[in-house]
Structure 1
Amino acid sequence: MGSINYDDSDVLDVLIVGAGISGINAAYRLHDELPDKKYLILENREQLGGTWDLFKYPGIRSDSDLHTFGYAFKEWTGADIAGGAEILAYLKKVAEDNGIAERIRYKSKVEAADWSTEERCWFVTVNQDGEQKNYRARFLYTCTGYYDYNKVLHAEIPGIKNFKGKVVHPQFWDLKEDDYRGKRVAVIGSGATAITLIPSMANVTKDITLVQRSPTYILSLEKYDPIAKVIRAILPKRMAAFVIRQKNIARIYASFHIFRTFPGVAKAILGRLTKSQLPSDIPLDPHFKPNYNPWDQRLCICPDGDFYTTLREGKAHIATGHIDQVTSNEIILKNGERIPCDIIVTATGLKLSVGGHIKTTVDKKTVDPSERFVWKGSMIEGLPNYALSIGYTNASWTLGSDCTAQYVVRLIKHMDKYHKSSVVPKPSNRDQLTQRPLLDLNSTYVKKAEKDLPKAATSGPWRMRTNYWYDLVQAKYGGYDDLVFA
């Protein structure tokens, strides 16, 4: 693909905010299908990668298989469950091979964006390495992920200020291996991060304990899928990648719908699988018997059962119950159990946020996204020429963000064809829309954020996306109901 030279002061066709997995995806689709369009990516950090550049905690990896978490246009050839360094290298290669890297402006924090109806253009204010810079763009596309990069989710832990050791949150990890070597570590939390940390730290700690208020479902998956190996052996490379990707998507949705339809059966199956991997001294109840149904929260994945292996080898322990008090050197549960520790890791969830905290206005009037509905999981009610990238809660994030990217490309083509310069989502029957959360999970960190996130509805194009195949068809061929063009 050839590159287009232009000055940053030009009016851009598309301004992408964020150079993580979604931003690079968006840039590729633009570069591939609309090569004459001028675009830039503004990235707050010093390099691309988003999550995979930010998180430094031990064992950081995807909790989705990389054949679906990776891009449809760039086959993944490594392990099905891969680490952060491998994912970051993959993203860098995609950006470099497709001329995307040269379009990224680093240390560029977007602070405000104002849509001018008169000029049919976004005026974007950016703090670029300490200096204010202004950009103009016909289309603003936020690919900033789903959580706050600057703040962690505050968790009420009684007496945590009494603790004399080190307290660290995975999002701002500042420990080296020698800092926890031979130490007693308590990891508070039961989500994917905690399940990743335990086996990654256990080989060097004196003792490490998972301290959880309530358990979660943890499913072992093979790091290298044996079926994928067979497919690669008999099919050409690109065809094999496509077949493996579709197989894994089918597996995701089959388990999701079966588990949601038959929760009792799902609980029994997951319970038996878990019990078969536990040591005899760790009972299923209460440590691995969640009080919710499978897929009410995301299932936690552990590659090759590494979490369970760590428990069986006696390198890690588990404690379940509400924390009564943290003292100078231990955690005391309300059931009386005491967990001595030198280091506490608060793996208690992320502070959710979409849109990158950009002060967004239309003709100088503030728009609060939390009061607006989301159109087809891609655009916000009342914001002209604006898209946001949101992935799935019941499948890999990238599947959803790619649907948005393909939709945005088609929408721009449609506007060019009919000589339209603006498009804004506007529900024709807003008073009849029934509100529902944007993210369909009952995890604590999701529930805490509901009031701050845009809303979904239960009908029409305002429903949240839930099925990749259906949404991909919509992105490529669907109608433009409740969009107003001008």
Structure 2
Amino acid sequence: MLATPPDFDVLIVGAGISGIGMAAHMQMKAPHHSYAIVERRANLGGTWDLFRYPGIRSDSDMHTLGYDFEPWRHEKSIADAPAILDYLNTIVDERGIREKIRFGHKVISANFREDEARWHVEMELEDGSRTHLTANFLYLGSGYYDYDEPHDAGFKLDDFEGQVIHPQFWPEDLDYTGKKVVVIGSGATAVTIVPSMADKAAKVTMLQRTPTWMFARPAKDRIANFLRKILPDSVAYSITRFKNIRMQDYAFKTARNKPQKVKDALYKGIEKALGPDYDRASFTPPYNPWEQRLCLVPDDDLFEAMKAGKAEVVTGHIDKFEANGVRLKSGELLEADIIVTATGLKLAIAGKIAISVNGEPVDFSQRYYYKGCMYSNLPNLAVVFGYINASWTLRADINSDYVCRVLKEMCARGVDIANPVLTPEMEANIEEEDIFAGFSSGYLDRAKDINPKNSTEYPWRLNQEYVLDRKRMASDPVADGILTFSKAGANAKAPAEQLEAAE
């Protein structure tokens, strides 16, 4: 036994959807383990508190973006940020999680000492001072993108005399009433901002270099709302969640197996909203549906703004920025008082935390994912990277549940280290593939060099099939012969010796 126990059994980094979910799962499934959440910002919510641009909302239905343990009760299934924050705040207050959150704690580094079986975590406080905590297990719910800086598209905006805004840093006092706005980008953020600004702005133009596949659906789920009237909330939620998970799975697999069928359906939906004379070229990407995430248009809001003449979609390449707008290579000038650069996020691995083991820095690009939850030869650490083709929280839920099972297994064995050991012999037989094979989104492609490795075969992969993952994570034994268990000081550096120690 160590002379002193760590400050906490589990330290959760991030008080967003992932971190709050892990805390709730621990209270239900590993209640005898202590935990704390450290959050760099002053508020909980992560993405949903950071982004303040007009119309900020989910692009997944809340019956799958919500947790498996907490029914979504709002009328709208496609919810705005305030409703999502209300959902999260209710959970942390009703379950006593808020008192476990330490706000204003930015994690700088974390070093796992095997002789102590604990993480030494250094944090920066709001006043610039440093503090230190220790924990047996580290759970990273810090998201997948850089909170400090967005993707820089390299625009030379010096000649533009208006305002330039990135959605990640939206000013609270921005008045765009009667202004001409150009939103550069065609992803989910742009598709959200354009119709939301169209009410007050003189005109909003979405300037896209490459179109995106779009689909419309009602913001309210009629079936969910009907079921809640006749069934208990938890039952209605479970049925709706099952329905939506299966629909997501079916839509994705159909897009992969019968892309033309899905294209035709998407075209039909846009034609229904805009009429037969719409510009099909502006809604035809050079890739198949679901090679990049589909953009949701709730209640046809973008299409309605276009029909009203308040918004337009322009496809073209930027030549230069001039004093009063954007000059395209075609020669057309898009006049603008405000330019919004919705050009994407910059991925960050492990929240940009300097992770090390016994003082040796960890290079995540040289590690493999283990069950989409841990990393090869990296003890007592778990992470959440949500699905590309489904709701983020689906992975957060199954990872949280799995880590609780690992914690209970460690307790039952009387050990304090769990390590997914990948030996050189095992690695020699791994067939590697791109971690996001089949997806062509720019933000994923730009992060290839920093992402962990990915195998073609489970468990050394970040899979993209929730239904299969959920079954495996819940039913496969924790002690699978790969995840090894040992006591503090028993782990040797050589993987073979680690396996001996685990025996």
TM range (shorter): over 0.9
Aligned to 2:484: 484
What secondary structure sits across from 2:446 in the alignment? helix
Deviates more, 1:8-17 or 1:224-233: 8-17
* Structure 1 residue 280, shift from structure 2 partner: 6.0
Letter in 2 for 1:210: M
Q: 5+ residue gaps in structure 1?
A: 1-7
Is 1:85 the counterpart of 2:85? The answer is: no
Letter in 2 for 1:343: I
Q: Distance in 2 between matches of 1:216 and 1:352?
A: 20
Aligned to 1:389: 384
Residue by residue, what CA displacement relative to the aligned partner does 1:181-228 show, whole Å, maximum 9, x if unpaired?
111100000000000001100011111100000100111111111222
Aligned to 2:453: 455
Aligned to 1:315: 310
Residue by residue, what CA displacement relative to the aligned partner does 1:73-129 show, whole Å, maximum 9, x if unpaired?
110011110000110111011011111100000100111111111111111111123
Q: Distance in 2 between matches of 1:452 and 1:461?
A: 20
* Structure 1 residue 9, shift from structure 2 partner: 9.2
Q: Distance in 1 between matches of 2:123 and 2:249?
A: 40
Q: Distance in 1 between matches of 2:344 and 2:57?
A: 16
Matched-pair contact (CA < 8 Å) for 2:377–2:422: no
Is 1:26 the counterpart of 2:22? The answer is: yes
Letter in 1 for 2:230: I
What secondary structure sits across from 2:194 in the alignment? helix
Aligned to 2:362: 367
Is 1:274 the counterpart of 2:270? The answer is: yes
What secondary structure sits across from 2:261 in the alignment? helix
Aligned to 1:302: 297
Is 1:252 the counterpart of 2:248? The answer is: yes
Deviates more, 1:249-258 or 1:414-423: 414-423
Aligned to 1:186: 182
Matched-pair contact (CA < 8 Å) for 2:6–2:136: no
* Structure 1 residue 175, shift from structure 2 partner: 5.0
Q: Distance in 2 between matches of 1:168 and 1:197?
A: 12
Residue by residue, what CA displacement relative to the aligned partner does 1:117-158 show, whole Å, maximum 9, x if unpaired?
11111111111232211111100111001101011101033x
Q: Provide the TM-score with structure 1 as the length reference.
A: 0.95
Q: Distance in 1 between matches of 2:29 and 2:485?
A: 22
**Structure-2 change in CA distance of 1:259 and 1:375 (3 Å):** same
Letter in 2 for 1:443: S
Q: Distance in 1 between matches of 2:205 and 2:474?
A: 48
- Pairing of 1:50-199 with structure 2 (within 5 A): 50-78=46-74, 79-129=76-126, 130-157=128-155, 159-174=156-171, 176=173, 179-199=175-195
Number of paired residues? 476
* Structure 1 residue 246, shift from structure 2 partner: 0.5
Is 1:340 the counterpart of 2:335? The answer is: yes
Q: Distance in 2 between matches of 1:464 and 1:400?
A: 10
Q: Distance in 2 between matches of 1:33 and 1:9?
A: 22
What secondary structure sits across from 1:436 in the alignment? coil
Aligned to 2:493: none
Matched-pair contact (CA < 8 Å) for 2:186–2:208: yes
* Structure 1 residue 248, shift from structure 2 partner: 0.6
Match of 2:284 among 289, 296, 301: 289
* Structure 1 residue 31, shift from structure 2 partner: 1.1
* Structure 1 residue 386, shift from structure 2 partner: 0.5
Q: Distance in 2 between matches of 1:288 and 1:70?
A: 30
Letter in 2 for 1:484: T
* Structure 1 residue 427, shift from structure 2 partner: 2.3
Q: Distance in 2 between matches of 1:280 and 1:326?
A: 34
Aligned to 1:472: 470
Residue by residue, what CA displacement relative to the aligned partner does 1:27-69 show, whole Å, maximum 9, x if unpaired?
0011111222111000000011100110000000000000110
Q: Distance in 2 between matches of 1:432 and 1:331?
A: 52
Structure 1 segments, 4+ long, off by >4 Å, are: none
Query: Over aligned residue pairs, what C-alpha RMSD do you find?
Result: 1.6
Q: Distance in 1 between matches of 2:103 and 2:178?
A: 39
Match of 2:353 among 344, 351, 358: 358
**Structure-2 change in CA distance of 1:207 and 1:335 (3 Å):** same
Aligned to 1:4: none
* Structure 1 residue 279, shift from structure 2 partner: 5.0
Matched-pair contact (CA < 8 Å) for 2:6–2:118: no
Matched-pair contact (CA < 8 Å) for 1:144–1:354: no
Q: Distance in 2 between matches of 1:389 and 1:217?
A: 27
Match of 1:379 among 367, 374, 382: 374
Q: Distance in 2 between matches of 1:149 and 1:481?
A: 37
What secondary structure sits across from 2:215 in the alignment? strand
* Structure 1 residue 281, shift from structure 2 partner: 5.9
**Structure-2 change in CA distance of 1:128 and 1:300 (3 Å):** same
Letter in 1 for 2:468: Y
Residue by residue, what CA displacement relative to the aligned partner does 1:346-400 show, whole Å, maximum 9, x if unpaired?
0011001131111111111111112211101100112110001121111000000
Q: Distance in 2 between matches of 1:376 and 1:107?
A: 31
Q: Distance in 1 between matches of 2:436 and 2:86?
A: 29
